[in-house]
Structure 1
Amino acid sequence: MMKSIVAGLAGTALLTTVAFAQSPPATTDKAAPAATTATTTSTTASGQWRTSKMDGLKVYNEANENIGTINDLLMDKNGDIKIAVIGVGGFLGMGEHLVAVPYEKLKFVNEAVAYTGTGANPGAKPAATTTTGAATGTDNKPAATSTSSTSKWYPDHAVFNASKDELKNMPQFKYSE
C-alpha cells in the first residue's frame, strides 16, 4: 500500500515538472496590451459627485422648506443626467408621490440649510452657495467652499423652486411607462 502511494506522488511530481518546463508559444506581436494603457490614464475624480450618494438627498425649496428627496437620477444613452425623480410626502417610503423634474432645474448646495427660525440664532450659518445641476457631468462640480464639503463626494442638499403641494399636484412618475 505504501509503495503505491509513493509511486503516485512521484508520478504527480514528474508530471508537474513537465508542465512547468513548457514555455509559452512565441509571439511576434510587439503591441502593448490594452491593460497597460488603461492603467496610465488619470484616475482622479476631484470635484465629481457620486450618483450613489445622491439617492435620498433632501430637496428644499427657495424658502428652505423640505419638499422631498431624490429617489433616482435618469440619464440618456450618452450618460447625461436628464431627469431627477423626487419623492414627495409619505412616511418611510409608504404613500410617497414620485415626480420627474428636469435635472437642470435643480440647484445643489454644499452647506447645510441656513436657520430660518424667528428667534436670533448666533450660530446660524450664512446663506449657502449653490451649484446649478446640468446634464453634461462637467458642470456638476461642487463649489469649492470648504474642504469638508467638497471631500464628501456629494452636495448637502438640492433646491427646487416649488412648494410641496405643487410637487404633489404634478403627474405621478411611473417606471413602467
Structure 2
Amino acid sequence: MLMKSIAAGLAGTALLATVAFAQSPTVTTDKAAPAATATTTTTTASGQWRTSKMDGLKVYNDANENIGSINDLLMEKNGDIKIAVIGVGGFLGLGEHLVAVPYEKLKFVNEAVAYTGTGAKPAATTTTGAATGTEKTTTTTTATTASSTSKWYPDHAVFNASKDELKNMPEFKYSE
C-alpha cells in the first residue's frame, strides 16, 4: 500500500511539472522605457546619533560628577526632541528618581570624561588571591580603538546641576 501511495505521489508531481514546463513565456510587444540603471544609492548619516544608543547614556555635571543617566527622550509629533528623562540615584533601577529636563539644556560630548583625581586613572583593576591580606592587584590600561567621529552616539552628556538638585526636582511620571 505504501508503494502505491509513493508511486501516485511521484506521478502527480511529474504531471504538475510537465504542465509548468508547457507554459510559454508571454511576449510583450509594447516598448516600455528601459529600466533604470542598476546603481545602488545609499544614504549616509555622518554626524548623526542613534536614539537607541542614547538610552542609558551617563550624565555628568560641570564638575565631572556622575549625576544620572538618560532613561528616555520625548519628542513632539514633528520629530523635535524636547525633553530628556534622566534617572537619578537608585541601584539597578530600584529607587531611581526620574526627572524631566529640557533637551536643549544638555550638552553632548564625544570625548571621555576627564579624570580629576590625583595620579593616573586605571582603566580596570583586577584583584587575585584569597582575602588574606596578600591580594595582588594589577592594573591594565585599554586604549579606545574607535574614533569619536565614527561612533553613532556621544560619550556622555553634561547638565549643569548637582545630583541633589536633580533629586529635589519634581518627579517625572508617564501619564497613562
When normalised by structure 1's length, the TM-score is 0.70
**Number of equivalences:** 151
Give the equivalent residue in structure 2 for 1:16.
Answer: 17
Distance in 1 separating the partners of 2:10 and 2:80: 61
Give the equivalent residue in structure 2 for 1:152.
Answer: 151
Cα pair distance change 1:14/1:107, threshold 3 Å = same
Cα pair distance change 1:7/1:89, threshold 3 Å = closer
Distance in 2 separating the partners of 1:43 and 1:60: 33
Alignment of 1:61 with 2:61, yes or no, is yes
Give the equivalent residue in structure 2 for 1:167.
Answer: 166
Distance in 2 separating the partners of 1:85 and 1:25: 61
Give the helix-richer structure, 1 or 2. Answer: 1
- Write out per-residue CA displacement over residues 111-159 of structure 1, whole angstroms, 9 at most, x where no aligned residue: 1111222x3x477xxxxxxxxxxxxxxxxxxxxxx96112121111000
RMSD of aligned Cα (Å)? 3.1
* Structure-to-structure mapping, 1:1-177, within 5 angstroms: 1=1, 2=3, 5-19=6-20, 21-22=22-23, 40-117=40-117, 119=118, 121=119, 148-176=147-175
Runs of 4+ in 1 over 6 A off after TM superposition: 23-28
Cα pair distance change 1:32/1:106, threshold 3 Å = farther
Cα pair distance change 1:21/1:160, threshold 3 Å = farther
Give the strand-richer structure, 1 or 2. Answer: 2
Distance in 1 separating the partners of 2:160 and 2:24: 69
AA aligned to 1:9 is L
Distance in 1 separating the partners of 2:26 and 2:78: 42
Distance in 1 separating the partners of 2:53 and 2:34: 37
When normalised by structure 2's length, the TM-score is 0.71
Cα pair distance change 1:44/1:90, threshold 3 Å = same
Cα pair distance change 1:68/1:41, threshold 3 Å = same
Cα pair distance change 1:110/1:32, threshold 3 Å = farther
Distance in 1 separating the partners of 2:62 and 2:120: 22
Distance in 2 separating the partners of 1:31 and 1:165: 68
Distance in 2 separating the partners of 1:18 and 1:62: 77
Tell me by how many angstroms 1:43 deviates: 2.4
SS at match of 1:17: helix
Larger radius of gyration: 2
Cα pair distance change 1:84/1:21, threshold 3 Å = farther
